[in-house]
């Protein structure tokens, strides 16, 4: 069967798919051009895509032979799942294998903002580190502080485990309450969103992007946060109203932020990059050699199962496909 792989992938993954299938692979780092995607999908049975590919009605209408969409990543807001289900196409993602890596990055941002790591690095490189002094370049303690985790799923829990090791007090807000055992293990207490925002010294966002989480954090929520608080965002850009965040950071409504994701990637909201109290990363939450390889292999396994007509291991819409066969 014919497979389109829309991004550069490890050679071992292309070989695995290529054993039994004919692979057209887009071997470049910039996202595949939309027109090329629309042309290439027309005769493909399999699609392995990434977050930068919008798989909408226009793509699905051209993909008349498509049997499976294997997304390389856990977030899937860029794929029209309902449209795929109506056409009988399973859609898969890569949950779990990037959990610890993304939680590491959230914690890296938390520490970097609290201890002004990026500002300090810049100061040294600019030759402005001239002497040690008791009141120079002070940051904030992390241990003993309260971390508010919004979205207590796989990554939220992994952030909580790290924070417990740092001696932080943990509160959370999520759609579904954890079991009492899970809450006890990490001394976690559930709070309404507003209470969490008022009480936390650090807030991490670990929700998926859905219609309910778009602009979950806007000017009203930022106003509720402590002026000494930090916002750490590794979820999806549109969960935060970025223009409101720039205002809050500029006016000192919150002390700082660490961002891995942006509302309109890869454009930044005007003014964001001018602020000293933010650490900005280029959407690298899962970007380690080990994790990106695991993600590619998992996406390939999902793809191969779909091509065989088997239930893919990480299918997002299998129940829907079984309920309403196309
Ligand atoms: P997950 O296990 O599904 O966790 C998401 C959690 O958010 C779940 O507990 C979910 O509740 C909760 N939630 C959903 N809607 C909510 C709402 N409206 N209010 C409060 N909580 C809500 O997903 P994950 O694997 O932890 O990944 C989370 C997200 O991180 C992904 O969707 C992706 O967008 C992002 N991510 C980013 C990077 C990066 O490179 N920066 C890397 C990996 C993932 P339920 O338990 O009820 O479902």
Average pLDDT rounded to a whole number, residues 297-304? 98
CB of 85 closer than 8 Å to CB of 319? no
Question: Which residue, among 21, 55, 45, 95, has the nearest Cα to 315 in the 3D structure?
Answer: 95
Looking at the predicted structure, is the pLDDT value of residue 278 above 90? yes
Which of the four CATH numbers 1.20.1250.20, 3.40.50.720, 3.40.50.2000, 3.20.20.70 does domain 99-280 have? 3.40.50.720
When computed from its CA atoms, the radius of gyration of the chain, rounded to whole angstroms, is 22
Question: Which residue, among 233, 216, 321, 209, has the nearest Cα to 283 in the 3D structure?
Answer: 233
Return the SS3 of 163.
Answer: helix
Contact 295 CB / ligand 1 (< 6 Å): no
Confidence of residue 268 (pLDDT cuts 50, 70, 90): very high
Ligand 1, residues 50, 75, 101: which to mutate, most atoms within 8 A of Cβ? 75
Contact 96 CB / ligand 1 (< 6 Å): no
E strand or H helix that includes residue 320: helix 318-323
- Catalytic residues, by residue number, are 236, 265, 283
Contact 132 CB / ligand 1 (< 6 Å): no
CATH 3.40.50.720 residue ranges in the chain?
A: 2-97+289-323, 99-280
CB of 85 closer than 8 Å to CB of 321? yes
**How far away, in angstroms, is 121 Cα from ligand 1 center?**
32
Digit-coded pLDDT (tens) for 63-79: 999 999 999 999 999 99
Digit-coded pLDDT (tens) for 111-135: 999 999 999 999 999 999 999 999 9
Residues contacting residue 172 through CB under 8 Å, at least 6 positions apart? 148, 149, 150, 152, 156, 160, 178, 188, 189, 190, 191, 196
Confidence of residue 149 (pLDDT cuts 50, 70, 90): very high
Q: Which residues pair with 217 in a beta bridge?
A: 240
194: its two tokens: 């507003």
Confidence of residue 159 (pLDDT cuts 50, 70, 90): very high
Which numbered atom of ligand 1 lies nearest the CA of 287?
40
Contact 160 CB / ligand 1 (< 6 Å): no
Note the CATH number of domain 2-97+289-323.
Answer: 3.40.50.720
pLDDT at res. 27: 86
């Amino acid at each position: 069967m014919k497979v389109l792989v829309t991004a550069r992938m490890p050679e071992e993954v292309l070989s695995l798919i290529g054993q039994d299938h004919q692979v057209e692979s887009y071997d470049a780092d910039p996202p595949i051009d939309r027109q090329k995607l629309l042309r290439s999908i027309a005769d493909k049975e399999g699609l392995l895509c990434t977050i930068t590919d919008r798989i909408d009605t226009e793509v699905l209408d051209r993909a008349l032979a498509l049997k499976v969409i294997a997304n390389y990543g856990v977030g899937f807001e860029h794929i029209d799942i309902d449209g795929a289900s109506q056409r009988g196409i399973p859609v898969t993602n890569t949950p779990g294998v990037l959990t610890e890596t993304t939680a590491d990055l959230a914690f890296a941002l938390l520490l970097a903002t609290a201890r002004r790591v990026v500002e300090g690095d810049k100061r040294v490189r600019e030759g402005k580190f001239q002497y040690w002094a008791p009141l120079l370049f002070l940051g904030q303690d992390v241990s003993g502080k309260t971390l508010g985790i919004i979205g207590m799923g796989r990554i939220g829990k992994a952030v909580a485990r790290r924070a417990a090791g740092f001696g932080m007090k943990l509160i959370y807000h999520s759609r579904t309450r954890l079991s009492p055992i899970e809450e006890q293990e990490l001394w976690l207490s559930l709070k309404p969103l507003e209470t969490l925002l008022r009480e936390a010294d650090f807030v991490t966002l670990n929700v998926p992007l859905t219609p309910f989480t778009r602009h979950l954090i806007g000017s009203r929520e930022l106003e509720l946060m402590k002026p000494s608080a930090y916002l750490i965002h590794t979820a999806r850009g549109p969960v935060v109203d970025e223009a409101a965040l720039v205002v809050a950071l500029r006016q000192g409504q919150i002390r700082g932020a660490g961002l891995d994701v942006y509302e309109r990637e890869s454009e930044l909201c005007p003014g964001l990059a001018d602020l000293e109290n933010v650490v900005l990363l280029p959407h690298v939450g899962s970007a380690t050699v080990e994790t990106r390889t695991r993600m590619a292999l998992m996406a390939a396994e999902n793809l191969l199962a779909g091509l065989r007509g088997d239930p893919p291991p990480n299918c997002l819409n299998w129940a829907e496909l079984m309920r309403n066969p196309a």
